[in-house]
Amino acid sequence: GTVDLGASGSRFKDLYLSGGAYLGGTVAANKLDDYEEGTWTPTWTRGLNSTGYVIQSGTYTKIGNTVQVRYRIKGDSTGTTYNAGVKIGGLPFTTSSLHYTAGSHYTNGGGSGAQNSFFITFPSDDDLYYYLQTANGVSPITGVTAGSNADFIGECTYETS
């Protein structure tokens, strides 16, 4: 812990490691050995069936076992709506078997009941389940409520195995 690499006037350009980097100590919990960025494709897996998507994009950053996803999915007006809870599938990594994750999102152009909504992930799954907060509790947002041209924009951080 006494040797510095580089200096303010002569820094290294790139660092390539075949193992990992220990940050803040040498115990296993301080080892960073997994980092990646990428894209994923969100799809309606229940509640809505779009014959075409106007927008269907997602990105992710994974550091260790923590995944942060960002997404936007918008169906076109030719889609079919079902009276079943809306699910968006295709998360880049399956959620941990130990944790639930809840988050909020923005709904543009969805049905009038879809604005006070949130999503949840269930353990060992790769879908986002959408719910509506009502005066009587919580109920799933159905495809009928969201509408065939629903536009869901969100961000979520969850743990993977």
29 φ, ψ (degrees, to nearest 5):
-65, -20
pLDDT value, residue 109 = 59
pLDDT value, residue 5 = 82
pLDDT value, residue 13 = 86
Instruction: Work out the angle at residue 153's Cα, subtended by the Cα atoms of residues 150 and 158, and round it to the nearest 5 degrees.
Output: 130
pLDDT value, residue 28 = 87
pLDDT value, residue 115 = 59
**In the chain, what is the straight-line distance between the N-terminal and C-terminal CA atoms, in Å?**
32
In this prediction the pTM is 0.81
Q: What is the mean pLDDT of each run of 10 residues along the chain (161 residues)?
A: 82 85 88 93 88 90 94 87 90 92 73 67 93 83 83 91 85
141 φ, ψ (degrees, to nearest 5):
-80, 125
pLDDT value, residue 110 = 54
pLDDT value, residue 113 = 52
Closest CA to 151 of 62, 46, 60, 77: 77
pLDDT value, residue 141 = 85
pLDDT value, residue 159 = 94
pLDDT value, residue 111 = 54
Query: Where does the chain have alpha helices with state H?
Result: 143-146
